[in-house]
Amino acid sequence: MAASNDEKITAIRQKVRELLKDADPAHDFLHVSRVTSLAAYIAGKEHADLGIVVPAALLHDIVVLPKNHPLSSKSSDLAAELAKKLLDEVNYPQEKIPPILEAIRSHSFGKNIVPKTKEAQVVQDADRLDAIGAVGIARVFAVSAKLRRPFYNNSDPFPSSHTPDDNTWALDHFYMKLLKLRDMFNTETARQLAEKRHEFMKVFLDQLRSEIINPL
Ligand code: NI
């Protein structure tokens, strides 16, 4: 008997778990699991096709090159290539594969693409939600620790007199990306979920400011 779509999703999930077993904590299977749950929730609210959104979310980070790698900007194209192979292996319905690959290709922040399909918009939104809030904060510092970047610029920790540069200081990433994401969601559902996470980051930054600049 041919495998059901649920069984195919389970098989994809297993393959992704295996592929990501040594991934860094900012892009590991836990990240993928959170993004997939968020994407499924948003898809339900926004009437997007779960048969596209769920596999795209599961597969969106199966190739993640480090930010300082020359091919880093190609990560999502490489992820889409490998995803095609895995989807073919589990005999995923052929007509769903191109929109899944489109969602994987267009999800990344660096490319600055507004995805064309509802399903790709949902996956991008879910991935962006996981970049902000408490989890987002944990992920920023996980990435910067791996690249051995200091937390902040000691002469101007909260960039006011220097142009933010997240290749050099972790905290600058909040000002270059994370605090801007609130206005960059595609769906109303994600925009609502983003609100609490955005506010929490501001509370975190205020507390950090008081500890660094006025600790006593
Ligand atoms: Ni991701």
Distance 215 CA to ligand 1 centre (A): 35
Distance 157 CA to ligand 1 centre (A): 27
Distance 210 CA to ligand 1 centre (A): 31
Per-residue model confidence (pLDDT) at position 67: 73
Distance 22 CA to ligand 1 centre (A): 15
Instruction: Write the pLDDT tens digit of every residue in 23-78.
Output: 999 999 999 999 999 999 999 999 999 999 999 999 999 998 877 788 888 999 99
Distance 168 CA to ligand 1 centre (A): 22
Distance 32 CA to ligand 1 centre (A): 7
Neighbours of ion ligand 1 (CB under 5 A): 61, 127
DSSP 26-88: GGSHHHHHHHHHHHHHHHHHHT--HHHHHHHHHHTTSS---TTSTTGGGHHHHHHHHHHHHHH
Q: pLDDT tens per residue, the chain (216 residues)?
A: 578 889 999 999 999 999 999 999 999 999 999 999 999 999 999 999 999 999 999 999 999 887 778 888 899 999 999 999 999 999 999 999 999 999 999 988 666 778 999 999 999 999 999 999 999 999 999 999 999 999 999 999 999 999 999 999 999 999 999 999 999 999 999 999 999 999 999 999 999 999 999 888
Distance 203 CA to ligand 1 centre (A): 24
Distances (CA, A) of 137 to 11, 13, 26, 38, 208: 31, 26, 10, 18, 12
